[in-house]
Chains A and B, each alone.
Chain A
Amino acid sequence: MRLLRVAAPCPHRPEQSFPVPSESRGSRDGTRDQALLDRDKERALAEVVQRVFENYSRDPRSVEQALFDTLYEERRRLETEKDRSQARRQASLYHQDYREALHAPLGRQRELLKRIIRGFAEEVAGHFDPRIYALATRVIPPSLTVTLNAMSPLRLLGILPGGPGTLHDQVDIKGEIDAFRAVAKLGTAVLVATHSSHMDSILLGYMLYRIGLPPFTYGAGLNLFHNKMLGFFMHNLGAYKVDRRKKALVYKDVLKAYAGCTLELGYHNMFFPGGTRSRSGAVEKKLKMGLLGMGLDAYIHNLIAGKEKPDIFVVPCTINYQLVLEAETLIDDYLKEVGKSRYIIEDDEFSKPRRVLDFVSKLFSLNSRIHMVISRPLDVFGNTVDDEGRSLDRRGRVVDRRKYVFRNGRPLFDRQRDQEYTRELALSITEAFHRDTLINSTHLISHAVMNWLHDHNPELDLYRMLRTGGARESLPLPEAYERLERSRQTLGRLEQQGRLRLDDTVMRKDPVAVVSEALAHLRSYHRTPAVTRSGDRLLHRDRNLLFYYQNRLDGFGLPMVEKPQ
């Protein structure tokens, strides 16, 4: 049940940085923690408002600009909000602010801006209700059990009564587990994971529980709070809310500052640096720099405050599925013409309990495993970190990482420098993501069929090829075996160099077994199977899905069928 505690202080003694008298901290169990959490939250809130406001208040024009930009963005957002009555109420408040701000002196404009920032910050931090927390972590009232039994993915993942054993077998956790535990004791950890599915956050929570770490603070999209199944639990649990429809810069600053402040208070954080679920199915190559940079920001703040444990460690983690719950929706979105893709999808498979149920039960009946690979921890500059928490350069020599932010013998901020440091970190994270990506049979077969399609339909562009499938509707099995074997050879060499991971079946079984495992998966869950067998031929059926699953192999030097730029 601990899984559902989305946030709690980490086991080492978080240090005080904000000017509030320190109190003794409770154990990580029980409600005592939550009292602390509430208090920390109050401090974090005050600090967030202060920092974001300061950022704008240095010059009068930026106060004015931030105020009017925010009001403009917010009113525009509210025009398309679904909940009309609430939106109208909010819009009229903003309208009043706007009218007043037009003629207000600077002092009043500053107050208005501060109030808006405070509003954002409170919304992000959410309202904490200990009663619901207790309920979620301990007892499920009978009435709820009924509903949840029928449709909760949490139950299917074994959290509710009825099968944690299965889950244990089904989710394989490997990699640098001990190093992860070690750095979470030595400093504050930031868990960054690849993102393919809304199942990811649940799995990450489960992973932390299994390896004995407390839940991590986590920014969840508003749509997850609105999700029937998860929303109940996400509310009031310390997960902070991210409303991706809010475009105002001030709002984004609030989010970043909130993450930074919780890190400084010693709360482990977790987020998806790709910013959203991978639409193409490929491993993330471009990361969101803003949030990622908060690790370094917190580190420098900690050094300046002279904390005993100033270190922030970044721990990459890959989540590898053989089948992805939302594959159809995601690839569909990716294939939409550039600029038309939706950043927020609210009506995907995850919002349909039956699809989730179907997905999980199929996965379990196929003996399919989800592999979570924890990479070697990094410092905020992208250097690897050993089990004692020391940074190492690429030749394995120990580096005094504090020096990176020192000038004239003292730690200081340098916005341009720090952005570049964060770029280095992002590079190390994407390298780790690729190294610890686990390739399995569904990726290989999809890659083989996609490339066969491409070779046999040179006159078709990608979109027409996916739509029509070209002149031939099937390929001979031996050809599929041969193509699969060829890319397996290439990948095998990369695996030897430690540049990626291969699933056991892919490593050890012959092509016949690999293909038959892949076929069993691909026909089990998706509405239309990506590919099916008919006699000694393979029929390509849902080519979008084939494209989606082959994309996982992008970035490893294999010939790829690509979306035109």
Chain B
Amino acid sequence: MSARAELDVLVVGGGTFGTALASLLAEMGRRVRLWTRRPEQAEEINREHTNRRYFPSHTLPPGLEATSDLAAAVRGAPIVFLAVPSRSFRSVARTLGDSLEGDQCVCHTTKGFEIETFKRMSTILREETCTLKTGVFSGPNLAVELMNGYPAGASVASHYQEVTAVVQDLFRGGRMRVYGGRDVAGTEIAGAFKNILALAAGVSDGMGFGDNSKALVLTRGLSEMARIGVSLGADVFTFCGLAGIGDLMATCASPLSRNHQVGVRLAKGEKLSEILTSMTQVAEGVPTTEAVQRYAVAHGLDLPIVRAMHGVLFESWQVEDAVRNLMSIPVGDELSALRYR
């Protein structure tokens, strides 16, 4: 790493995942800098080694250094992790683009699309920065579990072997096993799409259905994920990896997931607007459902679970009707949409 003496990695975004990632790396002895938008938050992290807004009961490693000056933070960082919500991704990327240089690698961890354009985050990075060496980091990584120090795994995908190698090196010898790959599109789509399925799994749980029902919605949902992925140029096998099935198992089974919580509350009859105003964090699945549904209609893709989820979220469908609808769709060959491409 080029700036060995100074810094190993910059994490941009002091939310749950950014903080967890930075802590994990700092604990391993890596020199980590964490950028947060609010100076008070940076101050809190530096002085008290806590980030109470997101982790009220955790202490952060003392080696973790936080700052709110992005331009200064970028300098000398061989790799930058970008962990901000999809709706602020472009503006943060643009600011980052003012200071980034061509020898730096950027890896993002954002699971979502840009709603208006249906662009993937790597596309936005390309548009807003001069960096070519970009990648995506994704997998079953519930932030609280990472903070608790449990073993975990993830995958990093990039067209540049240098990026995967640098990221893998960073995590080597720690509690996170990071697998490499080249399918950037597939990894991004998997991460974004699983949030829709987390909503659906939440609905299933909220309705009081059992594990059979949830397995049904997740497995058929995985098939929809693969269908849209293939139509966008992804490798179908990516969806069998940590970014696909792996993330699906964690997020959709766990009550820790924000999207899952939204689904449960929808099934209990709460209105979407009420749920969203009561939450402090972003539930990426909601805007993603809208973006994916729009894309599916425009491209003639058959994605029944997305369709039903969209109905419940934005068209005031009753959850019971949505379930009845899904159960009455004619059944055909299970894998035909993928096998006979």
Task: List B residues 1-53 near A (Cβ within 8 Å).
Answer: 2
Which of B94-102, B189-197, B198-206, B284-292 lies at the binding interface? B94-102
- State in angstroms the CA–CA spacing of A535 and B52 once bound together: 83
Determine whether A424 belongs to the interface, using a CB cutoff of 8 Å to chain B: yes
> Any chain A CB within 8 A of the CB of B75?
no
Contact B101 A424 (CB under 8 A): no
Of A383, A408, A416, A424, which is within 8 A of B161 by CB?
A: A416
A399 touches B162 (CB 8 A): no
* Given A393-B97, A417-B133, A417-B160: A399 touches B128 (CB 8 Å cut-off): no
Task: Report yes or no: A395 in contact with B94, Cβ–Cβ below 8 A.
Answer: yes
State whether the Cβ of A99 lies closer than 8 Å to any Cβ in chain B: no
Q: Given A394-B127, A404-B132, verify A409-B2 contact (CB < 8 Å).
A: yes
Query: In the complex, which residues 353-407 of chain A have their Cβ closer than 8 Å to any Cβ of chain B?
Result: 381, 383, 393-395, 397, 399-404, 406-407
Contact for A399 among B2, B130, B159, CB less than 8 A: B130
Q: Do A407 and B97 form a contact, CB below 8 Å, given A399-B102, A416-B161?
A: no
Q: Are B130 and A408 in contact (CB under 8 A)?
A: no
CB neighbours of B138 from chain A (8 A) = none
Is there a chain A Cβ closer than 8 Å to B251's Cβ?
no
Q: What is the predominant secondary structure among interface residues of chain A facing chain B?
A: mixed
Whether B270 sits at the interface, judged by CB under 8 Å, is no
Whether the pair A401, B102 counts as a contact (CB closer than 8 A) is: yes
In the complex, which range does the number of interface residues on chain A fall in? 20 to 34
Beta-carbon contact of B161 and A417 below 8 Å: yes
Q: Does B129 contact A (CB under 8 A)?
A: yes
Contacts of B128 in A (CB 8 A): 394-395
Find the A residue at minimum CB distance from B129.
Answer: A393
Q: Please give me the residue from chain A that is nearest to B127 by CB atom.
A: A394
Residues of chain A within 8 A of B2, CB atoms compared = 407-409
Contacting residues of chain B (124-150) with chain A, CB-CB under 8 angstroms: 126-130, 132-133
- Chain B residue nearest to A401 in the complex (CB): B102
- B103 contacts chain A at the CB level, 8 A cutoff: yes
Distance to closest chain A CB from B168 (angstroms): 15
- Measured CB to CB, the nearest residue on chain B to A410 is B2
One digit per residue, 1 when the CB lies within 8 angstroms of any chain B CB and 0 when it does not, for chain A 97-125 equals 00000000000000000000000000000
Partner of B159, one of A397, A401, A408, A420: A420
CB of A421 within 8 A of CB of B132, answer yes
Enumerate chain B residues within 8 angstroms of A399, measured Cβ to Cβ. Answer: 101-102, 130
- Asked whether A403 and B97 contact (CB < 8 A) given A397-B130, A424-B132, the answer is no
Contacts of B97 in A (CB 8 A): 393, 395, 397
A250 to B2, CA, bound (A): 36
Give min CB distance, B4 to chain A, whole Å.
9
Partner of A397, one of B98, B127, B160, B161: B98
Cα distance, A23 to B133, chains bound together (Å) = 41
Number of interface residues of B (CB under 8 A): 18
Cα of A403 to Cα of B160 in the assembled complex, Å = 16
B133 to chain A: closest residue by CB:
A417
Q: How far is the CA of A408 from the CA of B128 in the complex (A)?
A: 25
Interface core residue of A381, A393, A421 (most chain B CB under 10 Å): A393
One of B98, B129, B162 near A414 (C-beta < 8 A):
B162
Across the interface, which residues of B come within 8 angstroms of A403, CB to CB?
A: 101-103
Determine which of A395, A400, A414, A417 lies in contact with B101 in the assembled complex, contact meaning CB atoms within 8 Å. Answer: A400
- Nearest CB of A to B91, in Å: 12
The residue on B at minimum CB distance from A391 is B130
Q: Please report the C-alpha to C-alpha distance between residue A414 and residue B165 in the assembled complex, in whole angstroms.
A: 13
Residues of chain B within 8 A of A404, CB atoms compared:
102-103, 132
Output the nearest chain B residue to A394 by Cβ-Cβ distance. B127
Complex CA gap A116/B159 in Å reads 36
- What 1/0 mask marks residues of chain A from 415 to 438 whose CB sits below 8 Å from any chain B CB? 011001101100000000000000
Distance in Å: Cβ of A407 to nearest Cβ of chain B: 7
Shortest CB-to-CB span from A78 to chain B, Å, is: 40
Whole-angstrom CA separation of A404 from B134 in the bound complex: 12
Contacts of A407 in B (CB 8 A): 2, 103
Please measure, in the bound complex, the distance between the C-alpha atom of A186 and the C-alpha atom of B97, giving whole angstroms: 26
A407 to B130, CA, bound (A): 16
Q: Which residue of B lies closest to A415 (CB)?
A: B161
Q: How far is the CA of A406 from the CA of B101 in the complex (A)?
A: 10
Closest to B98 in A: A397
- Chain B nearest CB, measured from A494 CB (Å): 17
Whole-angstrom CA separation of A183 from B129 in the bound complex = 24
Q: B126's closest neighbor in chain A, by CB?
A: A394
In the assembled complex, the Cα of A407 lies from the Cα of B163 at a distance in Å of 13
Q: Which residue of A lies closest to B158 (CB)?
A: A420
Find A420's partner among B102, B126, B129, B132 (CB 8 Å cutoff): B132
Report the Cα distance A397→B101, complex, angstroms: 11
Residues of B close to A423: CB separation below 8 A? 159
A393 to B99, CA, bound (A): 12
CA distance A395 to B102 in the complex (A): 15
Contacts of B160 in A (CB 8 A): 416-417, 420
Interfacial chain B residues near A381, Cβ < 8 Å: 102, 132
Q: Which of B103, B130, B161 contacts A406 (CB 8 A)?
A: B103
Q: How far is the CB of A363 from chain B (nearest CB, A)?
A: 41
Closest chain B residue, CB of each to CB of A399: B130
Q: Which residues of A contact B159 (CB under 8 A)?
A: 420, 423
Whole-angstrom distance from the CB of A156 to the nearest CB of chain B? 45
A421 to B103, CA, bound (A): 12
What per-residue 1/0 map shows which CB atoms of B256-287 lie under 8 Å from chain A?
Answer: 00000000000000000000000000000000
Across the interface, do B162 and A417 meet the contact criterion of CB distance under 8 Å?
yes
CB distance from A152 to the nearest CB of B (A): 47
Residues of A near B127 (CB, < 8 A) are 394-395
Contacts of B162 in A (CB 8 A): 414, 416-417
Separation of A302 and B184 alpha carbons in the complex (Å): 32
Chain B hits for A408, CB < 8 A: 2
A381 nearest in chain B by CB position = B132
State the Cβ distance, A399 to closest chain B Cβ, in Å.
Answer: 4
Q: In the complex, which residues of chain B have a beta carbon less than 8 angstroms from the beta carbon of A402?
A: 102
Rounded to whole angstroms, the CA-CA distance of A417 and B159 in the bound complex is: 8
CA distance A395 to B133 in the complex (A): 18
A426 to chain B, nearest CB (A): 13
User: B79-111: which residues lie under 8 A (CB-CB) from chain A?
Assistant: 94, 97-98, 101-103
Q: Which 10 A-B pairs have the closest CB atoms?
A: A403-B102, A404-B102, A393-B130, A399-B130, A403-B103, A403-B101, A406-B103, A416-B161, A420-B159, A408-B2
What are some 13 contacts across the A-B interface (CB < 8 A)?
A: A394-B126, A394-B128, A395-B94, A395-B127, A399-B101, A399-B130, A401-B102, A404-B102, A407-B103, A414-B162, A416-B160, A417-B133, A417-B161
Supply 13 further A-B pairs (C-beta < 8 A) apart from A400-B101, A407-B103, A417-B162.
A393-B129, A395-B97, A395-B127, A397-B130, A399-B130, A403-B101, A403-B103, A404-B102, A404-B132, A406-B103, A416-B162, A417-B160, A424-B132
